[in-house]
């Protein structure tokens, strides 16, 4: 399986059928306190990168929405210092990748990007937001599903294994700060591509 072979099913079409509510980028602000807990209580440092995944539409209005996202991030770059790039992967998914050493600015910039899609009527195209962390045990991600309106942890290890112990520890530590996805079947792994890379690496 490639990078996001099952994302269309779990975060896309199936999640849309089981969606709790419309996409709400304000949920991303939950990470504003969560990153402090990750560092202070769990020893995870932010990797200073986040990514917003969306599915495209072949229309001029959608291209205009993407152009406005880029314009807004470009305008805010001087104030926030948030670097960004819009890219795509081999599976046809699109990504807004953001880098900033200030987690608050990173979250705010991601919120602006997601909110712009929604304002243009493309909230349904938003799939996931990803926040990356690392400690001595390895890398861990908090993934937000826009269709489900909830976060879940993902702790990948070599050989396409998951560190379930680390994921459950993250769930327990952040429960109450983040809206956690209770149905574990939606904790879908975002494995690297065949090159061993994620879009944000």
pLDDT in the model for residue 2: 46
Q: Per the confidence metrics, is the pTM higher than 0.85?
A: yes
- Cβ density class 136-153: b for 16+ within 10 Å, e for less: eeebbbbbbbbbbbbbbb
pLDDT in the model for residue 89: 78
Quick: pLDDT tens for 146-167.
Answer: 988 999 999 998 878 999 999 9
Say how far apart CA 164 and CA 166 lie, in whole Å.
Answer: 5
How sure is the predictor about 11, in pLDDT bands with cuts at 50, 70 and 90? low
What value does the mean pLDDT take over residues 160-182?
94
How sure is the predictor about 1, in pLDDT bands with cuts at 50, 70 and 90? very low
> Is residue 199 within 8 Å of 91, Cβ to Cβ?
no
pLDDT above 90 covers a percentage of the chain that reads: 60
For the cut 60, the answer to whether the pLDDT of residue 46 exceeds it is: yes
Domains of the chain and CATH, by start: 7-183 (3.30.70.1130)
């Amino acid at each position: 399986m490639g990078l996001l072979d099952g994302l269309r099913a779990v975060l896309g079409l199936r999640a849309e059928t089981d969606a709790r509510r419309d996409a709400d980028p304000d949920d991303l602000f939950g990470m504003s306190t969560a990153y402090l807990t990750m560092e202070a209580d769990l020893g995870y440092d932010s990797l200073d990168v986040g990514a917003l995944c969306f599915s495209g539409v072949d229309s001029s209005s959608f291209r205009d929405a993407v152009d406005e996202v880029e314009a807004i991030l470009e305008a805010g770059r001087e104030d926030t210092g948030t670097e960004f790039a819009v890219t795509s992967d081999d599976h046809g998914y699109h990504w807004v990748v953001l880098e900033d050493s200030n987690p608050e600015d990173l979250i705010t910039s991601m919120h602006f990007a997601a909110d712009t899609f929604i304002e243009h009527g493309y909230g349904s195209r938003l799939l996931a937001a990803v926040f990356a962390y690392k400690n001595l045990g390895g890398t861990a991600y908090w993934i937000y599903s826009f269709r489900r309106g909830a976060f879940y942890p993902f702790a990948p290890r070599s050989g396409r294994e998951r560190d379930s112990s680390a994921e459950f520890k993250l769930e327990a530590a952040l429960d109450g700060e983040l809206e956690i996805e209770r149905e574990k079947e939606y904790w879908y792994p975002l494995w690297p591509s065949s090159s061993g890379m994620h879009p944000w690496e």
